[in-house]
């Protein structure tokens, strides 16, 4: 008997929010909580290239045997190029397929813990809450640096750089490569250059969390922060999630990518990550990796996917402008104009937790208590309803 000593844990707030939404019987309800992209029909769509690739994978299937330890060959071959482009020689890059971006983060943090047991992980404040939990599981010490000014609704670069001046060679600093979750605020190209220079001068390692590639300013633009870091730093960690960019959420596809000084260190990193994976989940599931790998390896499918991710990004930008326009008209102010300038799927509305509860209870508009909303849950058909709900809540 040992389990009776444990205490029950509260349910995950986001999963609990989903349960509440699913049990809500109102026809007007709107889910702006969970971070999934929805189309105008309110569906989480299967992307056109993904559907074609999946048919191709299934049609060519002759065995369900294990794939090799690194993962599906086409995926681990092409995933690094997706984020690094041609900035780094492939013989400096270790890559392992993981169980989505969460698995990539865990694998990289566990590798850091092995390499430097006393290392400290610096996380932006605010950040995706699971970053803290993954760091705790791997035993890393955590510090935070200021990232976002709630008054101006934008990145606090000067404060971030001032705090990170205390980071050194035994530290790893995590940045969101694009489309910061939960704020939508991203540094400019010039600011990324400054952060890369700071990392180089201070000697700290950088971990780029990459979950929304293509949904901000475009595939090339969204990868630029990673390539700036790769150009200036001798080593770099990249956690890549395919969930949002390929609409393949439930298949749990990701990659842990490590840029190293040379081939010898690459082989060490590859072997260490392989052993960590072996002792936790052994091998990543093959199907999703095979589907994404098929898209990345085929020029026609890649272009079709790139076109569709550009359509999705453009639609998100249009929804941002549409919500900001309506709120400006309803409030007679530019209070929510910041929504236009953010990137990707998320935005902080800057309202109180009590006002978020009011949105849910009175209007069935579901958001996280921090006031983070998922722009990808909006539709042209519900923009007026959502804007009116927000305007009424802040007027009360």
- Of the listed 52, 113, 244, 343, which one is catalytic? 244
How far apart (Å, rounded) are the C-alpha atoms in residues 209 and 357? 30
Is 306 one of the catalytic residues?
Answer: no
Is 211 one of the catalytic residues?
Answer: yes
The answer to whether residues 156 and 186 touch, using CB atoms and an 8 Å cutoff, is no
How far apart (Å, rounded) are the C-alpha atoms in residues 17 and 26? 15
First to last CA, the chain: 54
How far apart (Å, rounded) are the C-alpha atoms in residues 12 and 10? 6
Is 128 one of the catalytic residues?
Answer: yes
Asked if residue 126 has a cis previous peptide bond (ω within 30° of 0), the answer is yes
The answer to whether residues 185 and 153 touch, using CB atoms and an 8 Å cutoff, is yes
Task: Record the tokens describing residue 2, joined without a space.
Answer: 């040992």
- Of the listed 31, 171, 186, 209, which one is catalytic? 209
CB atoms within 10 A of CB 104: 30
> Pick from 228, 151, 214, 207: which is nearest to 183 by CA?
151
Is 209 one of the catalytic residues?
Answer: yes
> Pick from 2, 38, 16: which is nearest to 345 by CA?
38
209, containing H or E segment: strand 205-210
> Pick from 119, 118, 181, 174: which is nearest to 144 by CA?
174
208, containing H or E segment: strand 205-210
- Of the listed 74, 104, 113, 128, which one is catalytic? 128
Q: Any idea which residues carry the catalytic annotation?
A: 128, 209, 211, 244
């Amino acid at each position: 008997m040992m389990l009776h000593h444990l205490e029950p844990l509260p349910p995950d707030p986001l999963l609990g929010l989903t349960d509440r939404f699913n049990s809500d019987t109102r026809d007007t309800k709107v889910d702006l909580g969970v971070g999934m992209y929805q189309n105008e029909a309110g569906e989480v769509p299967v992307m056109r290239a993904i559907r074609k690739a999946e048919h191709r994978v299934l049609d060519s299937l002759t065995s369900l045997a294990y794939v090799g330890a690194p993962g599906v060959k086409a995926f681990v071959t092409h995933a690094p190029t997706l984020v690094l482009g041609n900035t780094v020689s492939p013989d400096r890059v270790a890559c392992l397929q993981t169980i989505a971006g969460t698995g990539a983060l865990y694998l990289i943090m566990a590798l850091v813990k092995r390499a430097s047991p006393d290392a400290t992980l610096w996380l932006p404040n605010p950040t995706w809450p699971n970053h803290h939990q993954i760091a705790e599981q791997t035993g890393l010490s955590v510090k935070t640096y200021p990232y976002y000014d709630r008054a101006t609704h934008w990145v606090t670069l000067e404060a971030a750089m001032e705090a990170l001046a205390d980071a050194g060679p035994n530290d790893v600093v995590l940045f969101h490569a694009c489309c910061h979750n939960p704020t939508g605020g991203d540094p400019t190209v010039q600011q990324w250059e400054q952060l890369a220079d700071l990392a180089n001068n201070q000697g700290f390692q950088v971990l780029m969390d990459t979950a929304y590639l293509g949904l901000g300013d475009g595939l090339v633009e969204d990868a630029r922060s990673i390539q700036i870091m790769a150009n200036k730093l001798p080593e770099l960690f990249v956690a890549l999630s395919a969930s949002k960019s390929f609409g393949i959420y439930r298949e749990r596809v990701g990659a842990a990518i490590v840029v190293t000084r040379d081939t010898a260190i690459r082989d060490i990193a590859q072997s260490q990550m392989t052993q960590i994976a072996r002792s936790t989940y052994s091998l990543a599931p093959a199907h999703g990796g095979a589907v994404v790998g098929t898209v990345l390896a085929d020029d026609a499918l890649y272009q079709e996917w790139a076109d569709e991710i550009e359509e999705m990004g453009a639609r998100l930008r249009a929804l941002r402008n549409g919500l900001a326009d309506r709120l400006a008209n309803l409030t007679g102010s530019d209070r929510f104009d910041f929504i236009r300038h953010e990137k990707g799927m998320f935005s902080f509305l800057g309202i109180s937790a009590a006002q978020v509860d009011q949105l849910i209870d009175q209007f069935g508009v579901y958001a996280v208590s921090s006031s983070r909303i998922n722009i990808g849950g909006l539709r042209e058909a519900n923009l007026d309803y959502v804007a009116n709900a927000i305007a009424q809540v802040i007027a009360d």
